[in-house]
């Protein structure tokens, strides 16, 4: 044990005068009396109890010396030797799994209790900072030696419905390694040890709280229309279980708007991750759906998902080409297979054709010919030996393999100003580009599809599909449900309303709540769900990092206990003294 104020130990010298007071003898004053025989009996009784009185006085002396010594030691502010005295950074895991378990026994409850004990033990000997840890590392309180402020910060902590993110773990590792200025602090992570804690820096002391729990939950999910099957949707799911034995449960899929149960499926839950499965739902209605895993476990939050089955909005396509047969067959194939393209000549929203595009709809044009605002000049055919991608990852090209393309019939072409060149030949001839002219957008593919058997190539429908989605801004269709913690991009002019009612306008937004989100854009509303869907938050077993925290002072400091001992002794001695005086 060491002392922060060792100079005050000189106060132990006060024990000498205290002891001296007890050994001082008070000389009795002589008085004359006429009845000595009456006092003789008193003197005899006093003589017989002299030994008891001396023992009683020594006991009182010992109590007072102990009380005085305790006060002096308390004033010198002792601390344990195994604590190195560095400032502390206490990081509390507030991810979703920390809310698992019964009230007052949840991970967050145990973490708050442990953090409060550490704050109480500070006793002004050092400073402490407090941070929360889930999707990001957020400082709740910077370095402070004020117990009041730190305790308020600890009590304000609560869990969030998000998992631990890679970026949060990376930031914590950087801080623990000293890259962010935290090299002089002890970094102590209070956590249940589940999810996203792989690869922690060796300087981070992990203090695991609580015991493994029995839980099962949905960790992957999606709901959408099955191509090729009319009005048939497929629910994709995967379940994780931390039960030690196989458990029986029920998977319930119901339409939240009608209340009807579409599927009630018994499932056997093996320990760990189950195999992913797809559950088909015939005659499915678009709208809000709820899936529930009916099982009694320690974490109900991952047992239910709210999601949206979107409407099947088909894009009417008009074909404009001299040889339109293969174009029409392509659109009909998409339509019959449950795709989003359908052929229409009256209410078309997209033109697919060959030559110079007519009409006012967005257009996908093969084999440019004649005059058009989408090219300024058109020359003779050129030979293309190889195609080179200019815009990597563009939605039109991301599923294409241009090495398998034969740009037969390509011509020397000059796109208008502002056109986005997506692919060029080895000689610099534009092969695929996008241009907007006179309020209309077109994608031009510089090849003749009637040559080189391009209509028979598998890349023909792929290119039609991806170009149509891009021209109608459908490549970003929202999923039925996302994992919480996902960051989505809100289009310009759009607003995202969270389940809590909070509104985010434009830019990036995090899905940090469970429930249904609503996106409003150009007078249209798109709804989608968010749920935990993370194995690390559902597998509440004994996996994860081991407890590596070294001893850290917690609870009331030794000085407080010494003062309490001194007060108790003084109270006891006062009571004994009072009884002696009053008999």
The residue assigned the tokens 């979703």 is 96
Q: Render pLDDT for 511-568 as a digit per residue (tens, 0 to 9).
A: 999 999 999 987 788 899 999 999 999 999 888 888 887 777 665 566 666 777 878 8
Per-residue pLDDT, 36: 58
Lowest mean pLDDT among 186-200, 282-296, 330-344: 330-344
Assign 53 a pLDDT band (cuts: 50, 70, 90): low
Strands 204-208 and 487-497, bridge-based pairing = unpaired
Q: In the structure, what pLDDT confidence band is assigned to residue 29 with cuts at 50, 70 and 90?
A: low
Which pLDDT score, from 0 to 100, does residue 311 have? 82
- Check pLDDT > 70 for residue 262: yes
Dihedral over alpha carbons 173, 175, 179, 180 (to 10 degrees): 140
Most confident by average pLDDT, 52-61, 220-229, 301-310 = 301-310
For the record, the structure tokens of 154 come out as 């600890």
**Residue 509 DSSP class:** E
Strand-pair category, 387-389 with 411-414? unpaired
Q: Which of 31-35, 223-227, 432-436 has the lowest mean pLDDT?
A: 31-35
Provide the pLDDT for residue 118.
87
Paired sense of beta strands 430-437 and 420-425, if any:
antiparallel
What is the arithmetic mean of pLDDT over 60-89? Answer: 71
CA distance 343 to 326: 13
Helices (H), 76-161: 107-122, 147-155
CA distance 166 to 178: 19
Q: What is the pLDDT of residues 308-334, one digit of tens each?
A: 998 877 889 999 988 888 899 988 888
Residue 225 has pLDDT above 80, yes or no: yes
Do 384 and 430 form a contact (C-beta atoms < 8 A)?
no
Pairing between β-strand 350-354 and β-strand 315-320 as defined by DSSP bridges: parallel
More confident residue, 494 or 33: 494
Of the two residues 210 and 564, the one the predictor is more confident about is: 210
Those residues whose C-beta lies under 8 Å from the C-beta of residue 353, and which sit 6 or more positions away, are 318, 319, 320, 321, 324, 327, 363, 364, 365, 366
182: which 2 tokens?
Answer: 């935290």
Question: Could you tell me the pTM of the whole model?
Answer: 0.69
Measured between alpha carbons, how far is residue 151 from residues 120, 136, 254, 271, 548 in Å? 8, 22, 45, 40, 24
CB atoms within 10 A of CB 63: 16
261-269 and 247-255 strand pairing: antiparallel
Residue 248 has pLDDT above 60, yes or no: yes
Share of the chain above pLDDT 70, in %: 83
Give the CA radius of gyration of the chain: 40
Which two tokens mark 13?
A: 């010298």
Answer yes or no: is pLDDT of 581 > 60: no
- Report the pLDDT averaged over residues 202-230: 89
The pLDDT value given to residue 79: 63
Q: Which phi and psi angles does 449 have, rounded to 5°?
A: -70, -15
CB 564 within 8 Å of CB 249: no
Average pLDDT, the chain: 85
* Bridge partners for 188 per DSSP: 90, 205
pLDDT band of 54, cuts 50, 70, 90: low
Q: Is the confidence at residue 2, as pLDDT, over 70? A: no
Number of H helices, E strands in the chain: 10, 30
Closest to 71 (Cα-Cα) out of 572, 575, 557, 560: 560
Instruction: Give the pLDDT of residue 76.
Output: 66
Q: Return the structure tokens found at 117.
A: 């004990």
Give how far the C-alpha of residue 14 lies from the chain's centroid of Cα atoms, to the nearest Å: 59
- CA torsion sign for 439, 331, 469, 344 is positive
Does the structure show a pLDDT above 60 at 120? yes
Rounded Cα distance, 183 and 168, in Å = 18
Q: CA distances (Å), 103 to each of 282, 414, 560, in order?
A: 42, 70, 31
Q: Where would I find the beta strands (DSSP E) of 159-246? A: 185-191, 204-208, 216-225, 232-241
Q: How many other C-beta atoms can be found within 10 angstroms of the C-beta atom of residue 215?
A: 26
Whole-number pLDDT of residue 165: 92
Q: What is residue 402's DSSP assignment?
A: G
DSSP assignment of 439-494 equals: TEEEEEE-S-TTSTTGGGSTHHHHHHHHHHHHHTT-TTPPPSEEETT-EEEEEEEE
pLDDT of 404 over the 90 cut: no
Strands 137-144 and 185-191: unpaired
Q: What is the pLDDT of residue 312?
A: 77
Q: Which of these ranges, 70-74, 493-497, 500-504, has the smallest mean pLDDT?
A: 70-74
Residue pair 74/562 in contact (Cβ under 8 Å)? The answer is yes
> Residue written as tokens 């869990």?
159
């Amino acid at each position: 044990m060491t002392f922060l104020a060792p100079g005050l130990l000189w106060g132990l010298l006060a024990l000498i005068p205290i002891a001296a007071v007890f050994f001082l003898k008070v000389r009795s004053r002589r008085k004359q009396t006429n009845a000595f025989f009456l006092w003789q009996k008193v003197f005899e009784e006093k003589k017989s109890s002299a030994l008891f009185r001396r023992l009683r006085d020594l006991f009182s002396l010992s109590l007072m010396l102990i009380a005085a010594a305790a006060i002096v030691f308390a004033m010198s502010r002792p601390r344990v030797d195994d604590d190195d005295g560095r400032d502390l950074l206490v990081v509390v895991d507030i991810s979703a799994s920390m809310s698992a378990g019964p009230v007052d026994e949840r991970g967050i409850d145990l973490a708050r209790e442990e953090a409060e004990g550490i704050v109480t033990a500070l006793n002004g000997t050092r400073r402490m900072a407090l941070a929360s840890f889930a999707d990001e590392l957020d400082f709740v309180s910077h370095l402070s030696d004020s117990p009041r402020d730190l305790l308020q910060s600890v009590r304000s902590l609560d869990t969030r419905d998000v998992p631990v993110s890679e970026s949060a773990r990376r930031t914590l590792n950087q801080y623990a390694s000293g890259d962010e200025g935290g090299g002089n602090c002890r970094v102590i992570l209070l956590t249940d040890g589940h999810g996203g804690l792989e690869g922690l820096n060796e300087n981070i002391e992990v203090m695991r709280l609580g015991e493994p729990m029995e839980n099962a939950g949905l960790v992957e999910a999606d709901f959408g229309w099955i191509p090729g099957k009319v009005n048939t949707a497929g629910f994709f799911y995967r379940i994780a279980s931390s039960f030690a034995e196989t458990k029986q449960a029920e998977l319930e899929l119901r339409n939240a708007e009608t209340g009807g149960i579409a599927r009630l499926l018994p499932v056997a839950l093996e320990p760990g991750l189950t195999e992913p499965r797809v559950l088909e739902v015939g005659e499915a209605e678009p709208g809000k759906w709820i899936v529930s895993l009916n099982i009694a476990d320690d974490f109900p939050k991952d047992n239910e998902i709210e999601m949206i089955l979107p409407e099947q909005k088909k894009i009417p396509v008009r074909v404009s080409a001299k040889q339109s047969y293969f174009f029409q067959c392509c659109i009909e194939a998409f339509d019959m297979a449950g795709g989003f393209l359908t052929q229409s000549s009256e209410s078309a929203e997209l033109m697919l054709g060959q030559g110079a595009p007519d009409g006012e709809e967005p257009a996908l044009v093969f084999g440019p010919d004649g005059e058009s605002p989408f090219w300024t000049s058109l020359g003779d055919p050129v030979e293309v030996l190889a195609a080179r991608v200019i815009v990597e990852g563009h939605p039109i090209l991301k599923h294409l393999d241009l090495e398998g393309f034969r740009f037969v019939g390509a011509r020397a072409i000059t796109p208008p100003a502002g056109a986005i060149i997506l692919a060029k030949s080895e000689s610099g001839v534009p092969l695929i580009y996008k241009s907007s002219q006179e309020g209309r957008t077109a994608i031009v593919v510089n090849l003749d599809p009637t040559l080189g058997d391009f209509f028979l190539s598998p890349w023909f429908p792929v290119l039609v599909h991806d170009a149509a989605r891009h021209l109608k801004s459908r490549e970003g269709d929202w999923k039925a449900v996302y994992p919480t913690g996902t960051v989505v991009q809100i289009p310009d002019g759009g607003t995202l309303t969270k389940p809590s009612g909070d509104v985010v306008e434009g830019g990036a937004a995090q899905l940090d709540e469970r429930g249904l989100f609503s996106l409003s854009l150009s007078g249209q509303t798109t709804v989608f769900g968010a749920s935990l869907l993370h194995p690390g938050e559902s597998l509440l077993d004994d996996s994860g990092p081991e407890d590596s925290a070294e001893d850290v002072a917690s609870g009331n400091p030794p000085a407080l206990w010494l003062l309490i001992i001194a007060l108790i002794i003084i109270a006891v001695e006062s009571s004994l003294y009072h009884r002696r005086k009053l008999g």
